[in-house]
Amino acid sequence: MKKVILLIALVTAPLFSYGQSVYDKLEDMDGVDAVVVNKDAFKILSKFNINSEENEVMEVFNMIKDLNELKVFSTKKPSIATQMESMVTSEVKKKKLTELMRLKEGNSRIKIYVKTGSNSDYVDEVLMFVKGIEEKTDGMSEAVIVSLTGRIDINKLSKLA
């Protein structure tokens, strides 16, 4: 009987955790700074009446209305940086993300991945991972994960960049 209950618990556990991001556990870790902006915040921001003559500002506001979530996690602890790197590697494989670009600057490495959307002009997710050694941290390793989900227009994003 115990085996049956354990089997049922193992089978149903993923159903209860569905929708949770692999990165959510980073929010509760000591030594990790986190920023999470959800869909409701993007909806509120997109309703602001901006009277700007700058097209860039208007394009940003038009773009954010289709975003679901922005998550940014950073650490300066080498052990957590290593954990974050393995989380990103696992997530890239699991979600079958496509590497968009890699950058190497000094001791820093930046990797950007995307999940393609319904057509080639849109992506559903942008994942960026930065790992490196910064002089400000006295040679300590640091890492940053940026996850952006929603309907992201690559053409608008490239103009803003």
Given this model, what pLDDT does residue 11 score?
43
Please check whether residue 134 is in contact with residue 153, taking contact to mean a CB–CB distance below 8 angstroms. no
pLDDT at 74 over 60: yes
5-19, 60-74, 102-116: which has the highest mean pLDDT?
Answer: 102-116
Beta bridge partner(s), residue 36: 71
Helices marked H in the chain: 2-17, 39-46, 55-64, 78-95, 154-160
Q: What is the pTM of this model?
A: 0.74
CA atoms lying within 13 Å on the CB side of residue 160: 15
Given this model, what pLDDT does residue 60 score?
65
Please check whether residue 131 is in contact with residue 154, taking contact to mean a CB–CB distance below 8 angstroms. no
